[in-house]
A and B are shown apart, each in its own frame.
Chain A
Amino acid sequence: MSQSTPTTTTLNGGGADRPSVDEALRAALDAGPRPPRPGAVAASLTFCRRALLKVRHDPQQLFDAIAFPVMVTLVFTFLFGGAIAGSTHDYVQFLLPGIVVLTVVMISMSTGVALNTDISKGVNDRFRSMSIWRPSVLVGELLSDTVRYLMASTVAVLLGLALGFRPHGGFVGVVAALALIQVFAFSLAWVWTALGLVVHQPQTIMTLSGLGVFPLLFCSNIFVSTRSMPGWLQAVVNVNPVTRTVTAVRGLMSGSVTATQIGTAFLAYAVLIVVFGSLTVRLYNKER
């Protein structure tokens, strides 16, 4: 008579290559006292490290951070430079700070898609079931993107220098400008993450981000000075956080920055983080 299910007796010879449960497991189960709940910063940094480890395992993720600024800088300098400023050399002095900002804006868009894909993975349920500061998953993820922003903006600046860009703010001014750009990109990324959580199809996120990014980039002072624009448009352009950033970055790189320029830029970042950061966290906490 045949048995439909194997019985639970140990299989013959089964124990030979592996002991049933050894001392190592028993010892591992005696783990000592429970450690205290990690703080918000420690948890965020752990998630940042997780994202960086992924980049290390798959460095191709960084491709856009190198290729994109090269393409954009070359295209805008040579295609539009002569027409807008008379010569490519003059235009690159004006354009380069804006191009660095444009580069990180474009790169930050992929954050929404990345987050959307990441939170659909099973490991996120484990994170959500742990006693940690909930937004640390998002903060860590965005902090790690700083690496991409820093690479992209450095590439853009170096290429600019090769094309004749001469920042009067010197080394310190350029470094300060790059630091400001990191803060800007971190703040702006919350817009894309919020979008990434509302929309479920990665394809749709890309389309919508694309639609949103064009007014953001072109209704700004990246390519031309606001002085040539009609008054109502100037009003719009001036509240654009991209404009605030480009103005501050130009100031820092040329050594003519004012406290107001920096102040209004940070005000714009605070608004972005408060509005879109809290929206993102709310959306993330919503059950799925």
Chain B
Amino acid sequence: MDSRTDLAIETSGLVKVFGETRAVDGVDLAVRAGSVHGFLGPNGAGKTTTIRMLATLLRPSAGQARVFGHDVVREADTVRGRVSLTGQFASVDDDLSGAENLVMLARLLGHPRARARSRAEELLAAFDLTEAAGRPAKKYSGGMRRRLDIAASIIVPPDLLFLDEPTAGLDPHSRNHVWDIVRAIVAAGTTVLLTTQRLDEADELADQIAVIDRGKIIADGTAAELKASVGSSAVHVRLADPGRRPDAVRALGETLGVAVHTGSDPATLTAGVPVDTGSDGGERVARALAELARSGVALIDYTFGPPSLDEVFLALTGHRADDAVATGEEDAA
């Protein structure tokens, strides 16, 4: 470990400009070594660009970035020796089999041939891929591919792992499995920067969460702090008659005592329900829904649960997460 700093990542005023677009616009980030830092934001918010700069794939237009105290531009090769990428940042080779992928990468990391083979076998077994070892990676299922991808990133366990949406598109069972794997990797001493679009995933894994929007960090704190700024839970309501929405906004607003947001769909409403008042959120929501029924506003559907990334965004920025996509970035490619 480097004695110069106990920070795995440290950026100040990091900027990346693509033509007219400021994809990353002054990001200050500090990630403690040994922790899991969640990095939340919609597509096009600047997540990928920031990580590509930290992994030495892109040169910053301005500002500074250090990984374990090493400058990502001047000491790029040292940084490369300590980080590993996954997901859309760096996939596996589709045309090669799982085993061939792992042996190739082990060789590129400096393992002698025999050790590269034994290391590949070890990892295939550990990730439940021994049976599929000889099949080309492009024939793998989503979950298998994800596991191969993570296995490839820990052939030499890195000091810093960029983990990109590790559970996107997975069923709950595979998702829990991947979460367990991530926890084991962290327990073995790797710092993780986890990008995700899901607050519950960040909540589950991350010690600290940074939220990025339009190239800027708009919030950085623990999951609890982040939720407190949003309301711990959210109630979503879909009305049978969109024409009754003003009545519903009034009824919900009065009972819950919070601002009610109207969705882009004319029949929907959303409200954050804070916990710090001491009352049970669920009980207050039940009262609010009863109040709606009393006013004769018919509902098609309602849900009550933890705030989604969308609600975090709405609370932090005043605009919906998907609006940010319009700013555009190479992320989409």
Q: Which A residues are within 8 Å of any B CB, using their own CB?
A: 1-6, 8, 10-11, 14, 18, 20-22, 24-31, 34-38, 42-43, 46, 49-50, 53-54, 57-58, 121-123, 125-132, 287
Contact = CB atoms under 8 A, between A and B. Distances in A.
A130 B95 contact: no
Contact of B109 (A22, A123, A130): A130
Given A21-B184, A46-B108, A130-B109, A31 B119 contact: yes
B126 A27 contact: yes
Interface string B85-99: 100111111111000
B56 interface: yes
Interface string B303-322: 11110100000000000000
B177 interface: yes
B180 A21 contact: yes
Contacts of A127: 108
A14 B170 CA distance: 14
Given A1-B304, A6-B172, A125 B181 contact: no
B184 A130 contact: no
Interface string B80-122: 1101110011111111100010001101111110010001001
Contacts of A126: 85, 90-92, 105, 152
Interface residues of B, number: 68
Given A4-B236, A125-B57, A10 B176 contact: yes
A57 B172 contact: no
Contact of B157 (A4, A31, A128): A31
B207 interface: no
Contact of B80 (A29, A50, A130): A130
Given A11-B176, A122-B88, A126-B90, A27 B57 contact: no
B259 interface: no
Contact of B85 (A10, A38, A57, A125): A125
Given A11-B173, A127-B108, A287-B59, A50 B90 contact: no
A18 B128 contact: yes
Contact of A129 (B57, B176, B177, B285): B57
Contacts of B154: 28-29, 31
Interface centre among A14, A125, A131 (most CB of B within 10 A): A131
A8 B200 contact: yes
> Which 9 residue pairs spanning A and B have beta carbons closest together?
A122-B91, A126-B90, A4-B305, A35-B110, A28-B126, A4-B303, A131-B81, A29-B188, A24-B126
Nearest to A23: B126
B57 A38 contact: no
Contact of B302 (A2, A22, A26): A2
A37 B107 CA distance: 10
B83 A20 contact: no
Interface string B37-71: 00000000000000010011111000000000000
B241 interface: no
A8 to B, nearest CB: 5
B127 interface: yes
B282 interface: yes
Contact of A30 (B95, B127, B173, B188): B188
Contact of A21 (B100, B105, B111, B183): B183
Contacts of B93: 50, 121, 123
